[in-house]
Amino acid sequence: MGRLLISLVALLALSGCALVEGRKGFGPGEQDWGFVDVRKDAHMFYWLYYTTAKVSNYTQRPLAIWLQGGPGASSTGYGNFEELGPLQLDGSYRSWTWVKDMNVMFIDNPVGSGFSYVDSSSAYTTNNKQIALDLVELMKGFYKAHPEFKKVPLHIFCESYGGKMAPEFALELYYAIQRGEIESNLTSVALGDPWTSPIDSVMSWAPYLLQLGIVDQDGHDKIEASALKTKKYVDTGKWTQATLQWSSTQSVVLRESKGVDFYNVEKPTRGDQYLRNLFAMSHEERMYRTLVHYDIDENRDKMLEELMLTNVTEALNITTGVKWGAQSGTTFSKLMGDFMKPAVHIVSELLNNSTVKVGVFSGGLDLICATPGAVNWIAGMEWEDKQSYLNSSRLGINVNRVLEGYEKTAGNFSMFWVNRAGHMVPADNPAAMSHILRYFTKFG
């Protein structure tokens, strides 16, 4: 019997089948998922997709983590079904899914987002450091359940507000590794259309829209005036007021642009009708609706919510009694005093004090985290290879004879400009995203 088992294992390895001890979840391939108690009364949810690549063992491929923005948007919902998971929102297969090349884990964070939940209102996070430490605890629990991943290269990818959470998570994880508190092969962190320096993003809106012809000089001046009020609050450390003024600035943008889409300036919108509906809402509801929500298409929002609350909840047997949420307003509210604080110094510390590769990728059609804002905060950041970066050549990204963007690299830092993409680069330009994935993970 023992020889038969050994022969069977060898046969499976030769045939290219992955030896996986996952579960049947929702969608194709082997999966696993679970909750980790990251603190008292705080429970974080992860959903792991084992790679469907033809390998003898899934540990032959890296592990990519995806963190959504918000703060409070759900990775297991948005990132999974709208951007890079194996299934699209309508149930069809996504040909460019990351899962075909690597293991992918979606994490609902901060606690209170998606399937993650708290037992007490005091358990919500109120700053970026708490979020990062919770994610380190999540990884401790994950590695305890999946020790085979400890030596597998780990790559952290994110989007939007993830541009604040991911670098601090990577930094705290790196320090925990150095202290011997956790074993992990942390390799890289890549920030997609990041909210790393909020005020740089806000200050880029007026000139960006003017140059595209979306607003005229009068509209530019009104947006800039509101943005400068936001900056004044930032400069004086009045963080909650800065968040409220950021929201007001966004309203000015929507009014002056006649309803441009914040995630892709070329995306068709309902224009004035959309604005009438929007400004009929309360200020708080409008704040969440216009930025924190990832899609202003109500039909898609309803489709995603129905999918997560029915098919996914049933397939994963989620019995916590807490319903999945697309975007947690409470999570966002608890972080209002931290929302406009920058994390550029964290990126700098990561580059200067660790061996982790760091990158930024940005869609040229994104407004909310517009590329000029990212370029500006990178130009102001101090790190040991800065001069080499400034002196390095900017290269074209060519995929199948098509120019998909540009890249610039020095030392452990890289910047990627992505053509024909808005805020959601993995969905908007999968060819460029695959190039970026290959740069960091060697697969894609």
Check residue 292 and give its pLDDT.
47
**Residue 314 in domain:** no
**Residue 212 in domain:** no
**Residue 100 in domain:** yes
Mean pLDDT of all residues in 309-329: 89
Residue 66, domain extent: 21-196+342-441
CB atoms within 10 A of CB 395: 11
Question: What band does 15 get if pLDDT is binned at 50, 70 and 90?
Answer: very low
**Residue 73 in domain:** yes
**Residue 141 in domain:** yes
Question: What band does 443 get if pLDDT is binned at 50, 70 and 90?
Answer: very high
Active site residues: 160, 366, 423
Domain count for the chain: 1
Q: What are the pLDDT digits (tens) for 388-412?
A: 999 999 999 999 999 999 999 999 9
Question: What band does 285 get if pLDDT is binned at 50, 70 and 90?
Answer: low
Helices of type H across 236-370: 239-257, 271-279, 283-287, 298-307, 313-315, 329-334, 344-353
Residue 225, C-beta contacts closer than 8 angstroms, at least 6 positions apart: none
- Retrieve residue 120's tokens: 């007490």
Q: What are the pLDDT digits (tens) for 150-204?
A: 999 999 999 999 999 999 999 999 999 999 999 999 999 999 999 999 999 999 9
Q: What are the pLDDT digits (tens) for 334-384?
A: 999 999 999 999 999 999 999 999 999 999 999 999 999 999 999 999 999
**Residue 86 in domain:** yes
The residue that leads in pLDDT, 312 or 10, is 312
Q: How far apart are CA 239 and CA 341, in angstroms?
A: 7
**Residue 240 in domain:** no
Q: How far apart are CA 195 and CA 163, in angstroms?
A: 5
Check residue 286 and give its pLDDT.
58
**Residue 365 in domain:** yes
> Sign (positive/negative) of CA torsion 418, 381, 293, 245?
negative
Give the CATH number, domain containing residue 161.
3.40.50.1820
pLDDT over 90, % of the chain? 85
- Whether pLDDT at 5 is above 50: no
Q: What are the pLDDT digits (tens) for 224-247?
A: 999 999 999 999 999 999 999 999
CB 250 within 8 Å of CB 290: yes
Check residue 173 and give its pLDDT.
98
